[in-house]
Amino acid sequence: VIVVLIVISAVVFGLTLKSAFESTFLSRCEKFDQYDCKKVWDAFQQAYVNKDPCKVPVEAYDPLIAAAPFKPQCNRMMFWSKTKDVVHGFTEKRDCFVTLEDTLLGSVLDGLTWCGKEGSKDTNTTGCPGWSDCENNTVRSFWIRASAAFADVACGNVTAMLNGSINTPFNPTSIFASVEVPRFIASRVKNLNVVMVIQKNNISNCTDPYLKNLTQALDKGITYSCKDVPESQIQECGAKPEIACGDCW
Ligand code: N1C
């Protein structure tokens, strides 16, 4: 009897056992109210399960975006390129801006790697193609789709943090330049405020000729401003809640 019970419970346990990936997904998701996380998980999985991980087009994530749509948060939306750590170091401490990683989908999948395999219903977390290994890879297509949806709802005054320590703070191959900026439309977005993050040995700033490509790519009617801000100033504002969001830089 005991053996039978052990076998039965092992089978039941095995059937309900979630992978570590699914557990992470669901526990991160459950921090957000108003969403049916099981539904979001199913919509997510259908994008890549049983597919060649290099053949997942951006549109494969359309049902996922529909299951967890982005809400516009006018005047508070923050975009970034090559400044992830500074941006999130700041947004973690202060409630001034909303980044994609503060939304359900962005926070659930931030830092994760996943892909499927033809003929399998599993989600793998190892052996998946890297960011540039093939164009339509599982992870990259997700970030392109999610970034597009996030940029589609941008409104009011939009902020972007760019990196003054690299040669091309506005790189045409980045998601920011290729996916997000082209989606800012003048009927929704009033102004794009670039915060150029300046470190000790910066090589770029707001006068960088590359930024001409940014102003030219902006929909006519959206105004543009740029401010060089030392990284230490951003960190200080993160550490001092008594400084008003509008006075950080
Ligand atoms: O290519 P990027 O920068 O310009 O993309 C950043 C841009 C941000 O404004 C976000 O809204 O695109 C969005 N985004 C993310 O939110 C995000 N979180 C994590 C894009 N990519 C994101 N990642 C991972 O960072 C992604 O897996 C890839 O490896 C990087 C791209 O960031 P980047 O090159 O610094």
Tell me the ipTM for this assembly. Answer: 0.90
Helix/strand/coil for 34? coil
Cα 236 to middle of ligand 1, angstroms: 24
Which residue matches tokens 């997000």? Answer: 180
- CB burial of residue 11 (10 Å; 0-12, 13-18, 19+): exposed
Minimal CA–CA distance to 105: which of 73, 74, 144, 79? 144
pLDDT tens digit sequence for 199-233: 998 999 999 998 999 999 999 999 999 999 999 99
Decide whether any atom of ligand 1 lies within 6 Å of the 81 Cβ.
yes
What pTM was estimated for this model as a whole? 0.93
Q: Is 180 in the pocket of ligand 1 (CB under 6 A)?
A: yes
Distance between CA atoms of residues 57 and 50, nearest Å: 14
Could you say which of 37, 115, 155, 248 is catalytic? 155
Q: Is 79 in the pocket of ligand 1 (CB under 6 A)?
A: yes
For residue range 74-105, list pLDDT tens digits in order: 999 999 999 999 999 999 999 999 999 999 99
